[in-house]
Amino acid sequence: MLPFREGMRMQKRKLPKFRRQEWFRYKRVGEKWRRPKGKDSKMRLEIKGKPAVVKIGYRNPRELRGLHPCGLREVLVSRPEDLEGIDPSTHAVRISSTVGKKKREQILSRARELGLKVLNPGRGG
């Protein structure tokens, strides 16, 4: 198993920005990735000097997939009872969007007691 920091550093160094072909040329063409399909497309042919094309080889190592950028796995919480049994060294808490103000405060106070990192504490947290 790769140590997290070493694996992330290795992956960040390797990963280019994948943008749509000629995204800079036309305002109507966004940056969002679309596979180049043109018959004479230099990008599709992967000509040297042209932007990178998405491939399976750019996939993250299995240990790093699905992690939050802080290095912890996200756990969705909607009640204070959901916090029980969560490991603070490997998990971070994200409070569900449907939770109201009162219950959010209860979750935040319980998470503080347990030493859990809350990813979306809101203004008061």
Give the pLDDT confidence of 55-96 residue by residue, as tens digits: 998 888 888 888 888 889 999 999 999 999 999 999 999 999
Give the pLDDT confidence of 95-104 residue by residue, as tens digits: 999 999 999 9
**pTM recorded for the entire structure:** 0.69
Identify the pLDDT of residue 29: 96
The CB density around residue 43, as the number of other CB atoms within 10 Å, is: 17
